[in-house]
Structure 1
Amino acid sequence: MRRIEAHPILEVGKPKVLKFYFEGREMEAFEGETIAAALVANGVDVFGKTEHSKPRGFYCAIGKCSSCLMIVDGVANVRSCITLVKEGMKVRRQIGRGEVTW
């Protein structure tokens, strides 16, 4: 895991652990954690690819760019850096622009 477990100033508590699925693999996240943070903590750095097969990942972390767009529970173009993990959530990498959902 790639998480801060101790900090010299801030208190790091023990939040509730949630299970979610990334491309069929079960992973753990902390309650209140974004999808992007949970993926990085679980060793996932590539969140998708552009139309030209260039890898995308965690970049701005405030929902302003499109580097972290993923498919979440069947919905494309979800900004994983500002979307909180939910128990049982299914997350997949997105290739290209994704699909328009209504």
Structure 2
Amino acid sequence: MKTLTLHINGHARAVPAGITVASALRRCDVTLFGQTVYGSSRDVFCGMGQCQACRVRIDGQDESLACMRLVAEGMRVETQA
């Protein structure tokens, strides 16, 4: 299985190629993606981009949906937690 290097909150992690950013975060034990305006924790909910609960910063772009993006070599992901 081919692996890629993904930078999650400043830490390099090896993840399988061909998976979504949300799946990669979960494989790396990241389960807190940020907080709602009410202070509740956000995590992957629907897995198809409708709920937008999995918003993260990907390569400097805010509000990216982790469940809708495939990992890429050297990608930088920052959770809002």
- Do the structures match in fold with TM over 0.5? yes
Q: How high is the TM-score relative to the length of structure 2?
A: 0.92
Segments of 5+ residues of structure 2 without an aligned counterpart are none
Q: Partners in 1 of 2:39 and 2:18 — Cα distance?
A: 32
Q: Partners in 2 of 1:92 and 1:49 — Cα distance?
A: 13
> How many residue pairs get matched?
81
Instruction: Specify the alignment match of 1:74 in structure 2.
Output: 60
Q: Partners in 2 of 1:38 and 1:55 — Cα distance?
A: 19
Question: Does structure 2 retain, via aligned residues, the 8 Å contact 1:19–1:28?
Answer: yes
Q: Which moved more, 1:43-52 or 1:75-84?
A: 43-52
One-letter amino acid of the structure 2 residue matched with residue 78 of structure 1: S
Q: State the structure with more CA Rg.
A: 1
Q: How high is the TM-score relative to the length of structure 1?
A: 0.74
Q: CA deviation at 1:27?
A: 1.2
Q: Partners in 2 of 1:80 and 1:44 — Cα distance?
A: 12
Query: Are 1:86 and 2:68 counterparts?
Result: no
SS in 2 for 1:81: helix
RMSD over aligned Cα atoms: 1.2
Query: Are 1:49 and 2:35 counterparts?
Result: yes
SS in 1 for 2:79: strand
Segments of 5+ residues of structure 1 without an aligned counterpart are 1-14, 96-102
Instruction: Specify the alignment match of 1:58 in structure 2.
Output: 44
Q: Partners in 2 of 1:35 and 1:81 — Cα distance?
A: 6
Query: Are 1:36 and 2:22 counterparts?
Result: yes
More helix by share: 2
Select the structure with the greater relative contact order (CA < 8 A; seq sep ≥ 6). Answer: 2
Q: CA deviation at 1:94?
A: 2.6
